[in-house]
Each structure stands twice: as structure tokens, then as C-alpha cells.
Structure 1
Amino acid sequence: MAKKVKSVFVCQECGNESPKWMGQCICGAWNSFVEEKPVKNYTKSPTLTSSTYPQPINKIKTANYERVDTHIGELNRVLGGGLVKGSLTLISGEPGIGKSTLILQASHKIAKHHGTVLYVSGEEAEEQIRMRAERLDAIHENVMVVSETNVDVIENYIKEIKPAFIIIDSIQTLFKPDLSSAPGSVSQVRECSNVLMRIGKGNDIPIFIVAHVTKTGDLAGPRILEHLVDTVLSFTGERTQEFRVVRAVKNRFGTTSEIGVFEMKEEGLVEVGNPSEIFLDSLSSDVEGAIVVSSLEGTRPILLEIQALVAPTNLGFARRTAVGIDLNRLNLMLAVLEKKVGLPLTNQDVYVNVVGGLKPEGTSSDLGLALAIYSSMRGISIQTTKVLAIGEISLTGELRPVSHIGKMIKEASKMGFKKCIVPYKSVKKMENIEGIKIIGVKSLKEAINGMFYSK
């Protein structure tokens, strides 16, 4: 009598296994368990040799990672200087944001300068990729395209072609025939990722993997995928707007604070070398409720325009809406304005927007946010093309210094700004910058008086 094969139920959100089906997983997800057969052929542990014996950390030799130049400056910036050979890079983003456009442009550049590129697509036919490549002017004979989802067949293609760069679009479409579960399940994603990692690490081939996202913007599928890869890139932006931002969420070979800015045009994604100039392109000279702030993205200071609109509420409860600014941070600034400055906002709707779709990092935009709200509430205009506000606001109403404020002011001086309001403690540590007047203030109330009521 044949022995019955027992099955397990695996959560498709976190990978938790259960001997029986459950409505809710321990991670909180509902109806996420799928029945799968357990994998028997686990990889055996390697034989213990002298090379795997524990060594003192001071005797371990460091390796210089060789990088592959993608010839796309903004992408190189986010990756830390280029693609490391043998690394796995995961890129995620909403449908239609431009992931396939970016990787196709990168494949064309790499094929032109470094050798053969294997583009594996599980979602599109070869003809569709050719049509996109024609539109982007990214056709090169070294780019090999195949529409395949069987990871074993893909492995044979890699052994035969021996490419310098591999693109997988997307990991959720791949499957391993040995497993009974459907493509995109926890088991399939885990096993296919392990196969790709073994190929990339064993042959020093950088691999670009495209992944889907959920409605909340998180990576779809198990979190184990993020742990396996070396770099995770997040491709963000609004499809109705022109700008796209690439940010490193995880990077084993570089920093995670750098961003790459692109502009979507008919010919594809075009690099934006000076984001401040693009974001301030439509800046008005004298307007209520708008001011320019600065945020440091990695090593590059970026100037952004914050707009605020304060209007009387008609629904009984005041609305607080923020685009590009954390809603909790907005509520803190409103509380400080009401308590420390005496601005009546209880019966006022407040709307805040960061022009361009970029979300400023850190707390350097606190002062500008508060001044924009005050300007809209009191109906006092700000000379937005001449004034810059930088500083963190504490719950006591005092201004606290922010890091690298000198870089931000130098960027503002290059853009033609004449006056900058900063925390008083930052003035002492700052060198004089030609062409811009630096005003140090100790509190939010003092900043408001100096901005709107001084002669």
C-alpha cells in the first residue's frame, strides 16, 4: 500500500507552516494559508574543510568587490557605484511606474559596454519587449531575450549563453517543476530565488530581479525574498506625474540614503542631474502658504516646495491631509502652532503638499511646514524665490539644529536664494556663504516674527 504523502499549509504572507488550515496566521493575515507538499530533497550541508573552519576576524582577507558600470549615473548612485558582480538586486514598484523601462535601458547600456545580457520575461512575449526597445532606442545584438518561466530551463540557458548580466521579470512568475505549489507561492519564490542566488554567486554574474508589490506598496510574497538578495531598490512616483525616484531600501555594498531621480519622457527615463532645479521650476515669486525647504538625500541636498492650505471646516470635524509629509509629523506641528504661537486651528481644515511627489527625509522641513501653515492661515504672502527655511521644531516650540545644514545653504545660494532662516545654534558652527543672508532664530515664535512682522 502506497504511503500517504502528508501536506502542510503555508502562509503566503510570512511563510509560516501549519499542519492544518487556519483562518488567521500568527502574522495577522487572513485566508493566507495554501496547501503544499513538503520538499524532500533539501540541500545537504557542505563537508567541513579547513576553509570553513572558524577564523579570527583580524586574519580574514577582505575582497575588493568588482562593480559593473550601468552607464546610468542615477542608478549607479543608488547602487553605490554600480552593480557588484555576483550580486542579486531586487527592484519593486507599482505597475506602470517604469520598472521594465529602467531595466531595459540598463540592459542596453551594459550590453553595449560589457557583453551579453540575458533578459528573461515571464509576463511578456519577446515581441512586446522588442516593441518597447524600439520606442526606447535600446536595441542591441548582445541583448538576448527569452520568454520562459521554468527555472530549470533558464539555468540551462545561462550555462549555454554565459551572460555578463541577467534580468528576471518577474520572480513571481517563475516555478520549479519539482514543487507542486503554484508560481508566486512561498515555496516557489524561495526555491527559485535560491537557484538564482547559486547561479549568480557561483559565476560572478549580477542579476536584476523584478518583484510585484501589494496595494500598500510593500513587496508581494514572503519576506524571505528580501533577506536573500543583496540589494532592494524601491521605484516610486505617481503615474500622473513625470518624476520617478529610485531609493535603496537595503544595500549590502553601499549606503541606503542615496536616491536617484528620473523624468519619464517619450524616449524613456531621463536622468535628472539637478533635482532642485526641476522641483522649483514652477515656483511662484510671491504667494501665500508656500515656502522652500531643504532635505539631504544621501550626499545630495535637494530643495523642495511645501504648500499649505488652511480653510474653515464645514463638516464638524477638522480634516488633516498630507501628501509627501508624514501625517503624524503634521499633527505635531499643528499642536505646537496652536499651543506656543496661539494659532487657532481647531476648526480649520489643513491640507499640505510637497511639490514633485518627493518625500523629504528627516526633520529639516519642520520650520518650513509651520511657516507655510501660518502664512495660509493669516493670509500673509512669502517671497518663495528668495527665502529658505531649515530647522527642526521641538514640542516646546524651540528650534533644533539639523545635520549638514551647510550643504543645504550652499545649494540654496547656487539656486539664487538671498535669505535663509536657521536654528540659532547652527549659526555659530557655520562658515560665511557668499550671496545669502543667514538668520538664526531660537524659537518658532521668533521665526514667525522675523519672517512676517519685521521691517
Structure 2
Amino acid sequence: MAKNSVQYLCSECGWSGGKWFGRCPECGQWGTIDEFHEARPAARARTGAAGMGMGAGAGAAGSGEGGRAPRAHTRAAAVADGVATPITRIGTESVTRIPTGFSEFDRVLGGGIVPGSVVLVAGEPGIGKSTLLLETAGNVARAAAANGGTVLYVSGEESQAQVRMRAQRINAVEDNLLLAATTDLATVLGLIGQTMPALAIVDSAQTITSQDVDGISGGSTQVREVASALIDTAKTLDVPVLLVGHVTKDGSIAGPRTLEHLVDVVCQFEGDAETALRMLRAVKNRFGPTDEVGCFDMSGEGIEEVTDPSGLFLSGGGPGADGENGGASAEGTCVTFTLDGHRSLPIEVQALVTSSVLPTPRRAANGVDANRLAMLVAVIYRHGRINMLANDLYVSTIAGGLAKEPACDLAVAAALASATKGVAIRRGMCAIGEISLTGQIRPVPRLEHRLAEAARLGFTRAVVPVSRRRGRPLKVDGLQIVEVNSLRDAFGALGIGAAD
């Protein structure tokens, strides 16, 4: 019997080598190198079957020099006609996707779950991965009940009673939702083959183990074997599988990097544990775009999708929350629109300017780049004629939104100027633009997309950079667009004005 080759694999970056190291030579992490035994039961079976077809000749050839058996090679199999088909003869009919019950989830996946696909959902502990997928299982089971379909939810981390309690809390209890609590891979594969569900959910890849390979639960060997077996089963039975994945301390998906290469879709579930906002984005998607983002709101009753994010990122819910688009808002606030993939999100920037009693004035920023804030203060003083160098400045966004994109410069500067002069920017106005060191308002990418979203949310006036398109002025129905070239012009258009 040939001796199995032993390799050493890093659980952080996927580096492999023939020697053990205390510190990974690739990523520099300590204690991440584990012994890895390559498991190839399927390959040995195929090779043995090919050898049986050789008959006695193969056995005679085995008695080589010194009685040593020659190295086995995979034999070419007999292939039936029609396996390789010209691409022009392959049909282009669309695959019927399975809706998840969340329009935001479907948007990230490209329109729904593709039958036979494997989707990996990863995120920080306690971020809501299991809650999102359990609620998705309830939605799919509710839709599949009319056709007699079932949904299988396999938990390797909780008991059936614990999953039932969570399902009852989020209203995901359905008669055709099957629950199983096991950590054995063979049992999971058997359940999928026996029930043939419309959707299978495995929570999580790091808790399921195979008895046919060595390694501890969550190790590189086990995770690779679990992913490969689930993918083979999903493709063979045409059953979609949602797979939960853990992340390491630096935020990357735990296990070998090949795990992300094997699955069809990789989704990251992100958010701040101190806020209710959750963002789902596709890192890899074989069936759709990878720059879509879905917004969710975490509550005690489960996860709710947020189709209109203005209620999260804007105080008061939007431009018309007070009953009139032209009503006055609080001083020191300005709304801008930032891009996250293909999606344009409204962000409200709030600023507070106070007299400082410290030798060095305080600069505090939350959701805004602190270095860019210092630069904007200097530009406002030099080109906007507003002096706040000796004041304490506090700049923040709403609900954990990020205004670190250069296109948010004008909104940050407008909020600071509004707070300094005590003049409020009228509700229904937004500002989009990058500010250079010369005080010029520079163009930003995909401005039309941002303005269209502003008009949809009820904004009536937008201050933007001068368009580079000669002879083609910007025009969005329902939105008055004011193009400015300098910081002082922008302050004038926003109703703030500048000091003489």
C-alpha cells in the first residue's frame, strides 16, 4: 500500500507545504499550520474500476522489476456520443430561480436562488446569519407548501428545540420545514437525498465532520471535505444549499481559500453589533452581479428588509417627514448620496461646532474620515471664508452610515458651515461633490444614478459639480439641479452664504 502524503496547511490563508512552521510563511499568523491528509476515496475508486477493465494484463504488468508495483494512472473512460455538444445547440432557456421571500436577498443573489447552487453566507458571530437563513427557510417553506415541497434545516450548533424557539420568535414555523440537529456529514447527505427538499440549509460548515477523513471539526481537511460533498450532492440532485460559514478574527472566511472557490456564491453579512443595520453583499456570484448590496434591520422579531434605506440613514425619515419638502431642518445637517456597489444610499451628515477651552481644539469624527475632515476645515477657512480652526468639531453620520467617499466632501463642508453660522439647510436639499484643495467642486462618478435616487426619495433641489458633458445638461424629473464650480458658490446655493 502506498504511503499517504502528508502536507501542512494554513487555516488562515491556505498556504500548503511539506514542513511544519510555528508561523505561516505566507500570512505571518502564529499557530495556524495544521497537518493535512489528502483524502481521495472517490479517485481511488475510479482508478480501481479502470484497472479492473484491463484484465489480467494489468496484473502481469504489476510484477515489475524488484516486485515493485508501477504507479497507477487514471485510465480514459469510454464516453458516449453526445456528451460534448456544440455551444450553438445548447438551449438558452432561463432557469427558474427560487425566491427567498426577501427582495433584498434576491437582489444580491441576482434574482433568487438557482437550483443546484451552493451559497456560502459568512459573517461575524451574532450578526444574524442563522436568523436570516431560518427566516428564509420559513418563507421558502411557506411558498412550497402548495406544491408539497419541503425545506430542510440542518443545525450543527443548536438542538432542535433551540431552533424551534428561534423559529417561533421570528414567525418561521411551518409544517413542511424539517429540522435536524447533527454534525455527521453522512447523515446530512442522507437527509438531503431522502427528503429531496426545495432548499437545504446547513448551519454551519465548520461544525459538520466526516468520518472518512482525518482532522478536527472546523479544520481545513474537514471543511474541504464537507464543502466538496455538499456541492456534489447539490449538483447531482439539483437541490440548492445555503451554507453558513464562520469568519476568522481578521474578518476573512474560516477554512481554506478553496472553500470560496468551490461554492457558487459567497455572501458577506456585515453590520455593527451596536446598531440594527445589517448589510448583505455578494463577494462572488456565478449567476449575478457582485456589486449589489441588501439592507436589513435587525430586531427582536427577526430580520426585516429595508427597501427604502432613507428611514435608516436620515433623521426624521426623509425630506418630507415634517409634512413639507420645503420645511426647515436642524442646523448643522446636510444630506448626500453615496454609492455602495450599484446602489445609491442617502447619508445624513451632522456637525456640531462649539467653542474650545483646550489648547488644541478637539476633532471627533464618526463615519467620516478624520484626515479628510482636517483637510476640509482648512479648505473652508481658506476658500469659504469661514473660520472654525479654534473650535471643537464633532462630525457624525446616522445609524452607522459611512460618508468616507470623496463625493461626500461637499455635504461634510456644508454641515460644518451650517453649524458654525447657525443657518439651517432647507429640508429637501442635498449636496454631492468632491472638494479639492483649491476650493473647486470636482465631478463624482455615476452622478445621474445618485440624482435619480434623490428624486425618488422626494428631494427637490440638489447642489452638484458642473457637468463635464458639453451641451448635455443634467436633467432629472422632479429635481432642481444647481451646478456649482467653487466652494463659495456651493455655500450660496445651499443658503448658507459665506462670510465677507
Question: For the superposition of Structure 1 and Structure 2, which TM-score range results when normalised by the shorter chain?
Answer: 0.7 to 0.9
- Counterpart of 2:110? 80
Q: Secondary structure at the match of 1:248?
A: strand
* Residue 105 of structure 1 pairs with residue 135 of structure 2: yes
**Structure 1 length normalisation: TM-score?**
0.86
Contact 1:290 1:384 in 2 (8 A): no
- Counterpart of 1:126? 160
* Residue 304 of structure 1 pairs with residue 347 of structure 2: yes
Find the partner of 1:443 among 483, 486, 489: 486
Specify whether residues 89 and 344 from structure 1 end up closer, same or farther in structure 2 by C-alpha distance, changes over 3 A only.
Answer: farther
- Counterpart of 2:39? 39
Contact 2:474 2:481 in 1 (8 A): no
- Counterpart of 2:450? 408
Contact 1:234 1:249 in 2 (8 A): yes
Segments of 5+ residues of structure 1 without an aligned counterpart are none
- Counterpart of 1:430? 474
Segments of 5+ residues of structure 2 without an aligned counterpart are 47-73, 323-327
- Counterpart of 1:248? 282
Counterpart-to-counterpart distance in 2, 1:401 and 1:48: 62
Of 110-119 and 293-302, the range deviating more from structure 2: 293-302
* CA deviation after TM superposition for structure 1 residue 310, in Å: 5.5
Find the partner of 2:185 among 151, 162, 186: 151
Contact 2:337 2:344 in 1 (8 A): yes
Q: Secondary structure at the match of 2:407?
A: coil
Counterpart-to-counterpart distance in 1, 2:282 and 2:224: 22
Counterpart-to-counterpart distance in 2, 1:359 and 1:340: 26
* CA deviation after TM superposition for structure 1 residue 42, in Å: 6.1
Specify whether residues 11 and 296 from structure 1 end up closer, same or farther in structure 2 by C-alpha distance, changes over 3 A only.
Answer: closer
For residues 355-394 of structure 1, the aligned pairs below 5 Å read 355-359=398-402, 363-376=406-419, 378-383=420-425, 385-394=427-436
Find the partner of 1:417 among 435, 459, 476: 459
Specify whether residues 422 and 181 from structure 1 end up closer, same or farther in structure 2 by C-alpha distance, changes over 3 A only.
Answer: same
Find the partner of 2:237 among 203, 208, 214: 203
Q: Secondary structure at the match of 2:251?
A: coil
* Residue 68 of structure 1 pairs with residue 102 of structure 2: no
Q: Secondary structure at the match of 1:179?
A: coil
Counterpart-to-counterpart distance in 1, 2:387 and 2:206: 52
User: How many residues of Structure 1 are paired with residues of Structure 2 in the alignment?
Assistant: 450
Counterpart-to-counterpart distance in 2, 1:153 and 1:299: 41
**Structure 2 length normalisation: TM-score?**
0.79
* CA deviation after TM superposition for structure 1 residue 330, in Å: 5.0
Question: In structure 1, what residue type is equivalent to 2:335?
Answer: V
Of 140-149 and 3-12, the range deviating more from structure 2: 3-12
Counterpart-to-counterpart distance in 1, 2:366 and 2:95: 42
Specify whether residues 375 and 158 from structure 1 end up closer, same or farther in structure 2 by C-alpha distance, changes over 3 A only.
Answer: same
* Residue 274 of structure 1 pairs with residue 308 of structure 2: yes
Structure whose CA Rg is larger = 2
Counterpart-to-counterpart distance in 2, 1:28 and 1:317: 40
1:121-168 per-position Cα deviation (integer Å, ceiling 9, x unaligned): 010000000111111221111111111111112111111111111001
Counterpart-to-counterpart distance in 2, 1:151 and 1:335: 61
Question: In structure 1, what residue type is equivalent to 2:32?
Answer: S
Of 340-349 and 395-404, the range deviating more from structure 2: 340-349
Counterpart-to-counterpart distance in 1, 2:370 and 2:259: 30
Counterpart-to-counterpart distance in 1, 2:249 and 2:218: 16
Contact 1:68 1:83 in 2 (8 A): yes
Q: Secondary structure at the match of 2:212?
A: coil
* CA deviation after TM superposition for structure 1 residue 186, in Å: 1.3
- Counterpart of 1:239? 273
- Counterpart of 2:210? 176
Specify whether residues 69 and 38 from structure 1 end up closer, same or farther in structure 2 by C-alpha distance, changes over 3 A only.
Answer: closer
C-alpha RMSD of the superposition: 3.4
Of 211-220 and 120-129, the range deviating more from structure 2: 211-220
Counterpart-to-counterpart distance in 1, 2:214 and 2:19: 18
Question: In structure 1, what residue type is equivalent to 2:221?
Answer: S
Question: In structure 1, what residue type is equivalent to 2:154?
Answer: V
Q: Secondary structure at the match of 1:13?
A: coil
* CA deviation after TM superposition for structure 1 residue 236, in Å: 2.1
Q: Secondary structure at the match of 1:381?
A: coil
- Counterpart of 2:69? none
Counterpart-to-counterpart distance in 2, 1:30 and 1:340: 51
Question: In structure 2, what residue type is equivalent to 1:23?
Answer: G
